[in-house]
């Protein structure tokens, strides 16, 4: 008896067992923690929604193995790349040039898709993948009848810069050719990431705003959760992955150095990508203060945020979602390079009362005033919480993603 593949029949032709779908997520991960943390959050929610689902994340994150995943979710690690200050890319660990690395990644992605045969593919942010590496996989899954979704964070970049980037990467053509729908993990009322782009009306009709992706604290956190790590009522300082967080951490330390009477306890979580020599310097400075403690990285930072008095951060998507989810007063100093994403997000959020925006940490105007950071820390006890803004659907993202995934899985091409 011939197998489906021998007969040329796709397993996607009819979703014979919609209760046990196969879902693949692609996360290119060239920098920081943002993409893999968003993919993990979505995969975890889908695993809870579809109890018999098999969910596979294809990621270039070098630290994906340091995260916990629920039953039904696993990952394939493709060779990592790093983004250089020039904007070019290079292999993370292997002695291959970028073209060879991308070719290897491309082959692994296609082979994975062929073997796993997902019913649904969710591509994070990059319509064609890193340097077009997803195009063969998109071609294959399109022919097999899988549903293909482009998932976008709430803010991508300033519209002219994004338009130029998408033209250069042939993203417009890829969206029209491959994608069934676009999911935006945010609210139209706060920001429209595709406004001002050259997208036809029929494509914009396929854009669905989900709301932000709510975060939960891990249930298996060891007790007591924060021994010798965080004094009660501490301010949590988190620059995300930390690769570009040096200016923020330095600013906080200079605030304590400038106002030696400030008694508010503080926990600095540097992030796994902060340069070792800078981290060592910051630890030396921090250890002069009984009120400041440090930690290199915590894959379960949610509980630290829950225990905190307030949050100082840079405005990345995941940290922003956590601030909203745990209803914490936050002072956010966004970066403005290499893209305007964080600045646009924080400016929009401050306008509606969700957070307090500090001056950008990378605007080229020199070190920011320590007094501004002192004032922000001291204001946490009186700063309104995000929930005071009372925005409908703000944190409905994971429920809406589940609904959209269910509809996609129930639909054949």
Going along 255-315, which residue ranges are E strands?
266-269, 292-295, 310-313
**pLDDT at residue 204 in the model:** 96
Q: What is the pLDDT of residues 295-344, one digit of tens each?
A: 988 777 888 899 899 999 999 999 999 999 999 999 999 988 888 999 99
Bridge partners (DSSP) listed for residue 294: 268
Label residue 223 by pLDDT band (50, 70, 90).
low
pTM of the predicted structure, to 2 decimals = 0.89
DSSP 78-132: PPPEEE-TTS-EEESSSS--HHHHHHHHHHHHHHHHHHH--SEEEEES-TT-GGG
Longest dimension (CA), the chain: 80
Lowest mean pLDDT among 27-31, 182-186, 214-218, 221-225: 221-225
The yes-or-no verdict on residue 124 having pLDDT over 70 is yes
Q: What is the pLDDT of residues 73-115, one digit of tens each?
A: 999 999 988 876 666 778 888 889 999 999 999 999 999 999 9
Q: What domains does the chain contain, in order, with CATH numbers?
A: 20-213+395-409 (3.40.50.2000), 235-389 (3.40.50.2000)
**pLDDT at residue 63 in the model:** 81
Task: Give the mean model confidence (pLDDT) for residues 122-134.
Answer: 96
The yes-or-no verdict on residue 226 having pLDDT over 50 is no
CA distance 167 to 139: 20
Label residue 216 by pLDDT band (50, 70, 90).
confident
The yes-or-no verdict on residue 17 having pLDDT over 60 is no
Label residue 365 by pLDDT band (50, 70, 90).
low
**pLDDT at residue 326 in the model:** 96
Q: Tell me the pLDDT of the chain averaged across its residues.
A: 89
DSSP 167-235: HHTTHHHHHHHH-SEEEEES-TTT--TTTTS---HHHHTTEEE---------TT--SSTTTTT--TTPE
Q: What percent of the chain has pLDDT over 70?
A: 88
Task: Give the mean model confidence (pLDDT) for residues 125-137.
Answer: 96
Label residue 363 by pLDDT band (50, 70, 90).
low
CA distance 402 to 263: 45
**pLDDT at residue 4 in the model:** 39
The yes-or-no verdict on residue 205 having pLDDT over 70 is yes
């Amino acid at each position: 008896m011939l197998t489906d593949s021998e007969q040329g029949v796709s397993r996607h032709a009819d979703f014979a067992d919609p209760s046990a779908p196969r879902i693949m997520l692609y996360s290119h991960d060239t920098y920081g923690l943002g993409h893999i943390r968003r993919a993990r959050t979505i995969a975890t929610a889908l695993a809870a929604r579809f109890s018999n689902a098999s969910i596979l994340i294809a990621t270039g994150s070098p630290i994906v193995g340091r995260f916990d995943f629920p039953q039904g979710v696993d990952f394939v690690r493709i060779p990592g790349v790093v983004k250089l200050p020039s904007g070019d890319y290079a292999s993370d660990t292997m002695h291959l040039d970028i073209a060879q690395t991308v070719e290897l990644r491309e082959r692994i992605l296609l082979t994975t898709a062929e073997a796993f045969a997902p019913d649904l593919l969710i591509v994070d942010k990059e319509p064609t993948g890193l340097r077009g590496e997803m195009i063969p996989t998109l071609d294959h899954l399109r022919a097999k009848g899988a549903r293909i979704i482009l998932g976008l964070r709430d803010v991508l970049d300033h519209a002219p810069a994004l338009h130029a980037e998408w033209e250069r990467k042939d993203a417009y053509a890829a969206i029209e050719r491959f994608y069934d729908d676009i999911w935006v993990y945010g609210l139209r009322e706060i920001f429209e990431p595709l406004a001002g782009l050259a997208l036809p009306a029929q494509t914009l009709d396929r854009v669905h705003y989900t709301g932000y992706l709510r975060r939960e604290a891990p249930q298996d956190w060891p007790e007591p959760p924060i021994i010798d790590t965080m004094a009660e009522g501490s301010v949590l300082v988190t620059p995300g992955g930390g690769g570009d967080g040096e200016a923020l951490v330095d600013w906080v330390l200079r605030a304590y150095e400038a106002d030696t009477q400030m008694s508010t306890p503080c926990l600095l979580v540097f992030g796994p990508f902060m340069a070792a020599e800078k981290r060592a310097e910051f630890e030396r400075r921090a250890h002069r203060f009984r009120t400041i403690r440090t930690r290199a990285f915590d894959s379960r930072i949610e509980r630290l945020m829950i225990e905190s008095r307030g949050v100082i951060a840079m405005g990345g998507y995941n940290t922003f979602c956590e601030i909203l989810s745990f209803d914490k007063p936050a002072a956010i100093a966004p970066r403005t390079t290499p893209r305007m994403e964080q600045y646009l997000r924080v400016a929009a959020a401050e306008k509606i009362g969700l957070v307090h925006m500090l001056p950008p940490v990378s605007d080229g105007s020199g070190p920011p005033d320590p007094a501004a950071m002192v004032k922000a820390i001291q204001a946490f006890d009186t700063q309104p919480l995000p929930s005071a803004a009372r925005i409908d659907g703000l944190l409905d993202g994971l429920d809406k993603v589940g609904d959209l995934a269910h509809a996609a899985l129930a639909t054949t091409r």
